[in-house]
């Protein structure tokens, strides 16, 4: 996989992510990240100016990875429902699954926007873009709703569901419910 970050930066982001999920975003320091990355502090600071830059990098890398995974998986999905399920799996279900059972996974999901607001908003905008792309050919402003409107509703709902649900099965069930409701609007 080819990303906009160097191998060293990807390794730093990976080490930091493990720390964030274990200890929370607020408690992890640049010294902790340097130690977990087996780097000196000056070497870490040469790659990332501060902890917020590392968190921002995490969100940007996560978005890049999601793009790659989404494109690969959508190739084999023909129906709009399969596309919606795939998009929601990649952008909502799988990230939640990777974090929820970690000691501070819930806190990270609830506060990441405080540390990397612009990158988090861009990530959700990309998620919304995939939803619009899947819905647009099948949703002709039914009941006054455009594909963009429906996608925005799904994004907003899933953001809330990620922080309000306590278990992966609950999140899966509720996201499936969103998809089922969306299918009622689709001319498939």
pLDDT digits (tens, 9 = 90+) for 136-177: 998 876 678 899 999 999 999 999 999 899 999 999 999 999
Rounded to two decimals, what is the model's pTM? Answer: 0.91
The predicted pLDDT at position 163 comes to: 86
Taking 80 as the threshold, does the pLDDT of residue 83 lie above it?
yes
H-only helix segments in 24-93? 30-36, 41-47, 51-74, 80-88
Q: Measured between alpha carbons, how far is 82 from 87 in angstroms, rounded to an integer?
A: 9
Helix crossing, 51-74 with 7-23: angle to 10°? 100
Tell me the three state secondary structure of residue 142. Answer: strand
- On whether the CB atoms of residues 114 and 89 are closer than 8 A, the answer is no
Q: For the domain made up of 7-183, give the CATH fold.
A: Tetracycline Repressor; domain 2 (1.10.357)
């Amino acid at each position: 996989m080819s990303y906009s970050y160097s191998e060293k930066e990807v390794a730093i982001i990976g080490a930091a992510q493990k720390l964030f999920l274990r200890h929370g975003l607020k408690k992890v320091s640049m010294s902790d990240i340097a130690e977990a990355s087996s780097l000196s502090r000056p070497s870490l600071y040469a790659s990332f100016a501060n902890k917020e830059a590392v968190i921002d990098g995490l969100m940007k890398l996560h978005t890049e990875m999601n793009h790659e995974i989404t494109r690969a998986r959508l190739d084999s999905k023909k129906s709009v429902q399969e596309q919606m399920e795939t998009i929601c799996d990649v952008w909502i279900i799988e990230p939640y699954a990777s974090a929820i059972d970690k000691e501070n996974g819930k806190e990270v999901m609830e506060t990441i926007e405080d540390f990397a607001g612009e990158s988090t908003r861009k990530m959700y905008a990309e998620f919304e873009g995939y939803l619009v792309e899947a819905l647009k050919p099948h949703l002709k402003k039914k009941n006054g709703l455009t594909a963009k409107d429906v996608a925005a509703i799904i994004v907003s709902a899933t953001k809330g569901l990620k922080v309000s649900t306590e278990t992966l099965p609950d999140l899966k069930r509720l996201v499936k419910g969103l998809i089922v409701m969306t299918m009622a609007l689709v001319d498939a």
